[in-house]
């Protein structure tokens, strides 16, 4: 088995949300979904997580269809179940009860054992002025690095 490096990130998450607490979860996938993810043909940019009957589900995650599969191929935007401990699920459920809180995926990666893992975060949406402040700090850091380089 070759060691494929899978590291799919949600780059907009840190810009759009205040991240409060992170969890690592397994994800329940079909065979063709895993093959597509190992090829790097997945996106979690628009994905979010919801609670449904005591389980955590990831919605709107795009996994391209596996081109070498026959008619057993998967749906590109189906709901996928996240595998978490009961304590974590209860904690997440309490967090999601308050208005303005959400659960978003930060990155998807391949563990040492070969399992696909998803790093999710409890988050609150940022206001426009918070986003402007982050951009200003980013520009200031870039200017300081340029000055130190010279």
Predicted confidence (pLDDT) per residue in 35-90, tens digit: 888 888 888 888 888 888 888 899 888 887 777 767 777 777 888 889 999 999 99
Domains of the chain listed by start with CATH number: 7-149 (2.40.280.10)
Cα separation, 94 vs 91, in Å, equals 5
Cα separation, 147 vs 142, in Å, equals 9
Mean pLDDT of the chain: 85
- Is the Cβ–Cβ distance between 20 and 125 less than 8 Å? no
* pLDDT at res. 4: 60
Q: Which two tokens stand for residue 40?
A: 């790097």
Q: Which two tokens stand for residue 45?
A: 């940019």
Cα separation, 121 vs 44, in Å, equals 13
pLDDT(142) > 90: yes
């Amino acid at each position: 088995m070759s060691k494929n490096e899978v590291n799919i990130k949600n780059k907009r998450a840190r810009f759009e949300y205040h991240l409060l607490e992170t969890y690592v979860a397994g994800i329940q996938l079909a065979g063709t979904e895993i093959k597509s993810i190992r090829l790097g043909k997945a996106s979690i940019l628009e994905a979010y997580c919801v609670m449904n009957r005591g389980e955590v589900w990831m919605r709107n995650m795009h996994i391209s269809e596996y081109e070498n599969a026959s008619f057993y191929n998967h749906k590109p935007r189906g709901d996928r179940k996240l595998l978490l401990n009961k304590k974590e699920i209860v904690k997440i459920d309490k967090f999601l009860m308050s208005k303005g809180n959400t659960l978003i995926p930060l990155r998807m990666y391949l563990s040492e054992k070969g399992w696909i893992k998803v790093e999710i975060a409890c988050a609150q949406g940022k206001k426009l002025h918070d986003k402007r402040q982050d951009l200003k700090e980013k520009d200031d850091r870039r200017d300081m690095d340029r000055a130190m380089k010279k």
